Every structure is written in structure tokens, then in C-alpha cells.
Structure 1
Amino acid sequence: MSQRRILSLWFPRLAAERWLREARGLPSGPFAVSGEVGNTQVLTSLSAEAQAAGLVRGQPLRDARAMCPELQTRIANPRQEADFLAVLRRWAGQYSPWVSEEPPEGLVVDLTGCAHLFGGEEALMNEIAGDCAALGLTVRMGVADTVGAAWALARFSDGESGAARSGDDIAQEARATRSRAAKRRHWERGGAAPGALASGNRAGPIALPGQTRTALAPLPVLALRIDGALAAMLNRLGLRRIEDLAGQPRAALARRFGRELVRRLDQALGVEPEPIGPARPPAHFAVRLTLPEPIGLAEDLRAALERMLPVLSDRLRNAGQGARRIRLECHRADQSMEWVEVGLARPSFEADRIRPLLTMKLDDIDAGFGIDMVRLVAASTEPVHAHQHRGHLEAAADGADRRSGGVEMDDLLGRIGARVGLETITRLHPADSHIPEKTSILLAAAWSEPSGLWPRPRAPRPLEMWRPEIVQAEETPDLPASFRWRGRTLETRVALGPERIAPEWWLDDPDWRSGIRDYWRVTTRSGERLWLYFAHGATMSPGWFCHGSFC
């Protein structure tokens, strides 16, 4: 079996160069990307001109503007930077099928069995350097037998010789010497000299097979991918380089500095394996129909839909996926696009369930000067499994689902949701509480199942319930013969009760600070059927209230 070979790609100016690639109106000159760290705006990515001006990453933005008044800045966008790194991962797939991301600025490529296709590792790295230069990207590379060693060589070695950067990097120094180190220029403390990183991409250091320990020995301990605080602690004890740690007993290191240091050291030296997990490309389910002549009639769109839906349905079925949201894109002849989107109450790949929802939306599409391309996309999918043999409990649940409507109910929810939105359709679900207003919760119908486990209350509950309203009556627990409510005087004809309900003593509910309540079902002579209760008063005065109506 061939020796494993790993290539590490580091893009030290990823965020800044992404902005420079996209922003055409920026004037030439120093440029930086700023982000918030500890309630302070600091520089997170620099262009070559900004670094040549003496600015460094992590520097407060106000200090950077004082040093370089012509500095142009933009706010960091971590989401777009992550998407850009994903694009670079797909680009690196031309060199090896085994590529993984190392956020926020790195890639790891397994070159095992691939380098000879490009003329060797050095030729491959030269080709990558040329491609990145054409893309306007700065890249640093390192090749070794392990992921940790390649990572360290890409970030902590200078030039093609692989020489280690100065071991007196301020991040490696003890606190007692930092006052003297701060007076030196940043490139004398282990940083890159002005123009060093701006001199163009080039092939990075290569650790020959079996020479990992020798290549890592002169590098600082920070190259082991450990925390900066741990690296500072090691420096104070005189352990400044990896060679100082490699000869130490593992048990003593783990006991004094933790298992993480030993794990990182063993990974870099190849003692502990570190697999590379390439990101699986997301599955896309879409069908495109290109038309020889532009169309504009609803009948033509329906015919196009009839041709595309079975193809999309078969793709979803073969992948074991069901569509949750379907988008119909209509690309017009003037390079614009009209689109409609529908949602399903349950994921499905059946064309007969998707077709009626899209047909309802066809009238919303403006054909303009004509539609020359139609695209049907499953924007959101979920796994759908075939039905299998089930036991008695599952069979009973299936019977309850059929009684509640099953597929027909899902289709009804989908049709209503296509008009008013699925999020506006709700259903009640039982909740674990004896408080009347807390016995149910409101859930979206499309993302919940109907429940058949409604608990039976000790007494009937009103059909309509509102916040308690004051009833003017004698402040005694005895049911009054007459009372005044909503500006009317009502007489009691029939009453059933009382039903005593106590508050949840483990919660401080402002609505239940009245203490224990005695509920009565009262029918008045004028026909109202009200739900009255007498609050005995815990932290407030007692009295009568109306909580709901039975009709």
C-alpha cells in the first residue's frame, strides 16, 4: 500500500480577496475586512497592500485607521465566506476526489495515488499556485504524511526550503519578554515581512515520506493546532518547539497539560490516525425543459408541467426522498424569471399530489414576452420510507390516522396552504397541564400529527374561553342568586359545581395569583351558559370572575 500523502491549502486572505473579487468599485489601496471580537471591531482579513502597510490581523480597527488613513474596510460575512470556501472545495476536487474543508480558511486534500497524474507533488503544487493566482487568491501549501504535519508546514514554514519561522514569535514568548518583543517590528517576531506574502503563490514545503518528525521538529508548538493559552503556558516552561515535546513522556504531558495536547502531537506525528471526511455534495432534484419557441399560454405551461413532473417524481422515488416545497421557475425571453412555489403538508414524490398545487399557481405567472425555459425544482426534500409490516400498536396508530383523514387531509392542507400559506393553518395539541387555559398548545398543522390522546377532563370545558372578567357579586364562596357582568344584571337559574382547581404551585403565573378557584357552570334565566369561578385570594382580594361560555 502506498504511503499516505496529505496536502494542506491555506488561504490567509480569503475574506478580503473574496470582497476584492466581487466589489468592482473599490479603489486600489489597502483593504481589510473587520469583525466584532469582544465588543471591539478588529481586522480579521487583510489584503497584500494592507499587510505591507504594517497592519496585522486582530488589530483594533480604530488603531488601523490611525496607522493607515486610506484603509478601505468591509464588514465580515461568515456565511458568504463559508459558501466561498465550499466553492473552493469543489474547485480542488479536480486534483483529488478526497477534499475536506478546514473552516474558516483551509482545505485538506488527500493526494494518495493522485500526484503522479500531475507530474509529482511539486508540479501539482505549482499548478495549484498558478490557478489560485489566476483566481486572485493567495494560497500557502504544505505536503506531509499526516493532516497535522501538512497543516503546520502550510502555516508555519517559510518558502520552498521549508525553514521554520522564527521561534521567538510573540505568541510563543513568555510574559517577561513580551515588553521587549513588542518593540520589535512584527516580521522580526515571527510574522511575514512586508511583501513576503504578496510576492506571489509558490509551491510550499514538502516533507518527504517518513520525514514527518524531522520536518516538524523546528516548528513552534502553536503549529500543533492547540489553543493559544496552552501554547503560552508551554512557552513559559521552556517548551517552545515541537522537538521539545516529542521526547517528553506522554503520560506526564497528558497529566500536566491535558489529553488534547497529546492527541494533537500524536496526530501530527502519525501515531494516532486522523481521517479526512470529504463533504458529500448536496443532492439536487430538478428537471429543466428548454423550449424551441417561447410560450405564453397557461395550457402550454400545463403541458410542460405534465412532461416534467413524472421525471422529477421518479428521481425523488429512486432517492427515497419526498418533496416538501416545489418551485416552478419560468425563464422569459428577456432574461428575467417568474416563479411560484408551493408546499406540501407531508413530503411526497407522487406526481398526482403535486400537480393540483402547482396548477392552482399557474395563473400567477406573467409570461411577458414569452417563456423559453421551464425548470421544476424540489427546493426542500425529506426522506420518505416505504411502509413495512407493523405490530398491533403501529396498526392502531395507522387506523387512527385513516380516521383523521390520512392522505386526503394532507392534500386538503396542501391546497389551502397554496392559497393562504401552510404556516397559517394550525391545530390544537394536548398539553400536560390541569390549568384550563394550558390544556392545549397551538401547532402548525403541516408539521404536526393529529393527536388521539386527549385527556378526559373531570368536568366539561366551555367552547369559548377568554381572560377572566370581573363579575360584580358578593365576595363569598356561595353562588349568588344574581350578579352583574358586562353591564347586565343576570339571574342564576341552574348551576352545577363547584369544581376546585388549584394553581401550579411550582410556577409563578401572574394570572393565577388569585389562589384556589371554585368553578361553576351557570345557566341564567336569559339563556347564557357561563363558566364562573370564585377566587379565594392568595396574594389578591377574593371575588367572582367569568372565564368562558358553553355556547
Structure 2
Amino acid sequence: MTRVVSLFLPTWSTDRLRRKAGDAAPPAEAPLVLIGREGSRRVVVAADVAAQAAGLRLGMPVAKALVLVPDLIIQDADPAADADALERLALWVLQRFAPIAAADLPSGIVIDSTGADHLHGGEAAMLDVLIGRLAVSGVTATGAIADTWGAAHALARYVARPTFVAPRGHGPSVLATLPLEALRLPAEMATDLRVLGFDRIGDLLAQPRAPLTLRFGPELGRRIDQALGHLAEPIEPVRPADLVEVRRAFAEPIGAAETIARYIGKLVIQLCAALEEKGLGARRLDLLCLRVDNRRQAVRVGMAVPVRDVKRLTRLLCDKIETIDPGFGIEVMTLAASIAEPFVRKQTVSALVEETAPDISDLIDTLANRVGDRAIYRVAPMPSDVPERSVCRIPAMTSDSGATWPNHWPRPSRLLPQPELIETVALLPDHPPVSFTWRGIRRRVQRADGPERVFGEWWKRDAELIAVRDYFRVEDDAGERYWIYRAGDGEDAATGSHHWFLHGVFG
């Protein structure tokens, strides 16, 4: 089933202007509007959050806006620059999230996420990451996922706070209570419909179609059918100028899995030849299949390192054939290297001189394209004495940074995700517990080593200015060894709660 993401950027024009200005941008709390012309009048065409909170609205004359907000910051609107920046944002989404993405002018992005969400932890997680990345970049956004472009567009603008994921096969129920404007109708048509007593989309759905078409033309019915999925609304994906891609059109539509696999192999050969001419290797491939009903099916595979091995790329793509629904047939297949990087050949070293490390990138590619990039990773040391901050996840094929693990004190082989509270019998301030109870089981301590004092990182937050932990390695009467700590120095209550926690288990 097709799934579509719609991103709504309500203050795109002002957000773009602030990002472009950088450090010279006005403060976020300063009301900012962009102005344009309607005939001979100068009117507000964009307003940031602060300006809207002050009561300014789009279409308001500039003179009235200045009366309401005397310290208002005014700049000229640049619709062409806004559109260009939105295209670049769509390219960023295309490269990182899904193989089909496009700008939804004037202030949105539309994405066909079918089959791509599992690579990002599911639909809700993918949407949260999208909104979060934009927020970090200074762009306000809301987003929704639905079965159609029209439904996702409506939900992103009228329901999402800041995200909303409609259930699969939701039908018209999620749209019934939304205002008429959610159907992307012209303003004049929405006004005329309200004069006739229609306020919500559900009011239109309950009426016979013929009288509405006779009165308002085919546009109204078309928008309703697009929102409900009765009429296809293909997304024309944005394509970068330097994109390396190959295309194959068929005189007769194809649909059999074996035929699709055969032509995938041919397209991969052509793409690898084009990559070789430019000295590049593919890090991500997008296969787009245009069906006879004008719908697109997309397959995306990623590689840990630049690759242009024909057999390897063909196998990765053919593993995804089962996700392609050819419908009544595929008319055009396009294969693109959406991310390509310089390809460096490795010099073969004689086994008699030096033993080379095995190349596991092929295995990593296979696993990552099945379970997602986030599920395949390595852990690497971080420069921190706080145990839970001393490790991080990095991509599986990332080269070593040179950082080393701390070796001044032993560390447990298993570190718990979060320290767990334990009940103890201990003599303060410097003695280990005589016994402790963890997960309902009481353990008597036979041996202990410590304390190892770990100080808080005061530069991260004020609460850690004087915070300390005292860690002990303890062994119980069954021979099991644990890593426990006391929050605080055992004397001053300001340094911690003096509660005990179990943080790790030694193998």
C-alpha cells in the first residue's frame, strides 16, 4: 500500500531568511514579516511566529501592521529564492530518507515513503527524525503520513501537532472533520461552498457528486478523488543536476519478477559504466518503476562504502523485487545513484608479505538493507569518564578515530542501559555494601574493590557541578561480579542522593 509523507513549513520564507543571515539574523523574539505587492498595495505575504503572535496576518496592509507592531522588522519577499531553497531541501530529503521526494510549493515537501520507513525505525520514528532535523536547522515544520498525497497534505496542515500518522487503509474518516481548504481548493470555491452551507469535507462526501460537478466544475471532484485515493496523483521526484542515472522504456509493459530481475541487471551494468567514467562508486541506489496507471514503485538500497560491482549491486536490488507491485505492468524503469562518492581502488597485497583484513562490507550491506542502517553499527569510545557517555554508536564501516577505551580501572562487559536502583546495607562513607537486593533477589557481598570516584561533567549542566559517584566492583556468594555505585560522596547530601545503583555486570 502506498504511503505518503507531507511536510508543512508554515514559516518557510522567514525561516529561510534567518538561516541565510546567520549570525546577523534578527533575534527569534523580534517580529519579522516579508512584504510584497497586490496591485498598488504593499501587504504582508509572510510572517514569523512572533509576528503572528502579535496579531499580524497574511494579506494585511503594511501600514496597519506597523501600527500594531511599531518595532516590526520588514523585509522584501523573494518567492523565487524560497522556491529554489525548497527544491534544495527536497534534494536533501531525497538523499537521506526516500527515493521519491518533491517540493510541494509554496511551503511544503511531499515524499513517497512506501517501503522506506523500515530503514528509519518505522513511520513514526522517521517522521520524528524529519521534524527534528528541520527544527535543529531552524525550520519550523509539521508532518503527517497517510495513504494519499491529498490526505497527508490535509493532515499535516490541520491535524499534526507536530506529527500525525494515519492508520493504513484509513479511508475518508480521517478527513471528514477537516475544513474545506484542506482539499487544496481555490479560495473562491471554498467561499462559494460555505455560502451553500458546506463547512467540512464530510459535508461534501455526503452529497451526490453530479450537482457539485455541474455547479463547480471537475476540479472539486478531482481533489476529493485524489484525497480518497480513487484518482492517482503521481509525485514527480526532484532530480539533482549531476545525478548519475540510466533509464529503460518498454514497448510492452513487464510484470514478471524474472523479467524485472533481468532488466535490473542490464541497468546496473549501464550505471556502473557511467560511474566508472566519472570515477565514482554508488553509496545509494534508487530504482523507480513507472507503471501503466501512472503510479511509481520505488526501491532503495544503500552501501556502507562506494561500490560499482555489478554482481553485488544487482543482488542487493533483486533482493527487493518482492516489494515491487507491478500492477498491470511497468512501462519505464529508472536506476539512479542518488549518492555517489569517489571510488578508490584498493591495492592487492601479497598474502606472503602481509595478512589483509577481510572485507565484510558486502555482508553489512545485505543486513542493513534488510533491517535498516540504524540496526547495524559499532560502538566506539568517547572522551568521558561518565560510563553511559563513554561509548557511542558509529556506522559499521567507519574508520577508527584513534580514541581508546579507559584502562585505569576495569569496566564491566555488560553495561545496563540505565543504572538500576538497589537496596543495600552499607557503612558510609567509604565502605562497599555488605549485601544488596537487585530485582527482588538479595545478594551477600563476599569481596569488593573500590571506590573509584567519578565526577560530574559540570560543563554539560549545572546539576553536575559538585555531583560525584563512587563505584565498587563486588562479588557475591555465588561468584557473580557486579559494578555498583553510590550517588554522592557519602557525607554531603548536595553531591548526590546517597542511593545505590547497579550499573553493570562483569562476564
Q: Is 1:488 matched with 2:441?
A: yes
Q: Is 1:443 matched with 2:429?
A: no
Partner AA of 1:533 in structure 2: Y
Contact conserved, 1:41 with 1:61, CA < 8 A, in 2?
no
Gaps of 5+ in 2: 1-10, 18-29, 46-57, 66-76, 89-239
- 1:483 & 1:34 partners in 2: Cα distance? 56
Q: Secondary structure at the match of 1:441?
A: strand
Higher RCO (CA-CA < 8 Å; seq separation 6+): 2
- 1:346 & 1:339 partners in 2: Cα distance? 22
Gaps of 5+ in 1: 1-32, 68-73, 86-280
1:513/1:437 CA distance change after superposition, 3 Å: farther
* Equivalent position of 2:42 in the other structure: 56
Contact conserved, 1:347 with 1:382, CA < 8 A, in 2?
yes
Q: Is 1:318 matched with 2:321?
A: no
Partner AA of 2:298 in structure 1: W
- 1:34 & 1:439 partners in 2: Cα distance? 38
1:314/1:481 CA distance change after superposition, 3 Å: same
1:347 to partner: Cα distance: 1.8
Alignment of 1:10-21 (within 5 A): none
- 1:293 & 1:549 partners in 2: Cα distance? 63
* Equivalent position of 1:478 in the other structure: 431
1:444/1:376 CA distance change after superposition, 3 Å: same
Q: Whose radius of gyration is greater, 1 or 2? A: 1
Residues 488-543 of structure 1, C-alpha deviation per residue, up to 9 Å, x if partnerless? Answer: 332112323343434445554747854252x2221111443211234414513545
Give % identity: 30
Partner AA of 1:494 in structure 2: R
- 2:382 & 2:343 partners in 1: Cα distance? 29
* Equivalent position of 1:177 in the other structure: none
Supply the RMSD in Å over aligned alpha carbons: 3.7
* Equivalent position of 1:433 in the other structure: 384
Contact conserved, 2:489 with 2:498, CA < 8 A, in 1?
yes
1:288 to partner: Cα distance: 1.2
Alignment of 1:233-312 (within 5 A): 282-312=241-271
Q: Secondary structure at the match of 1:306?
A: helix
* Equivalent position of 1:460 in the other structure: 410
- 1:290 & 1:412 partners in 2: Cα distance? 32
- 2:462 & 2:252 partners in 1: Cα distance? 67
1:361 to partner: Cα distance: 0.4
1:524/1:509 CA distance change after superposition, 3 Å: farther
Normalized per residue, the structure richer in strand is 2
Contact conserved, 2:420 with 2:502, CA < 8 A, in 1?
yes
1:499/1:299 CA distance change after superposition, 3 Å: same
- Corresponding residue pairs, total: 299
Contact conserved, 2:449 with 2:472, CA < 8 A, in 1?
yes
1:39 to partner: Cα distance: 2.5
- 2:449 & 2:43 partners in 1: Cα distance? 76
Partner AA of 1:55 in structure 2: R
* Equivalent position of 2:83 in the other structure: 80
Per the normalisation by structure 1, the TM-score is 0.48
Contact conserved, 1:493 with 1:523, CA < 8 A, in 2?
yes
Contact conserved, 1:323 with 1:378, CA < 8 A, in 2?
yes
- 2:438 & 2:415 partners in 1: Cα distance? 16
1:43/1:505 CA distance change after superposition, 3 Å: closer
* Equivalent position of 1:166 in the other structure: none
Q: Is 1:497 matched with 2:500?
A: no
Q: Secondary structure at the match of 1:62?
A: coil
Alignment of 1:130-149 (within 5 A): none
Q: Secondary structure at the match of 2:60?
A: helix
> In structure 2, which of residues 366, 380, 384 is the aligned counterpart of residue 415 of structure 1?
366
Alignment of 1:76-475 (within 5 A): 78-81=81-84, 282-387=241-346, 402-403=356-357, 405-406=358-359, 408=360, 410-445=361-396, 448-450=398-400, 453-462=403-412, 463-465=414-416, 466-467=418-419, 469-475=421-427
* Equivalent position of 2:481 in the other structure: 529
- 1:303 & 1:315 partners in 2: Cα distance? 19
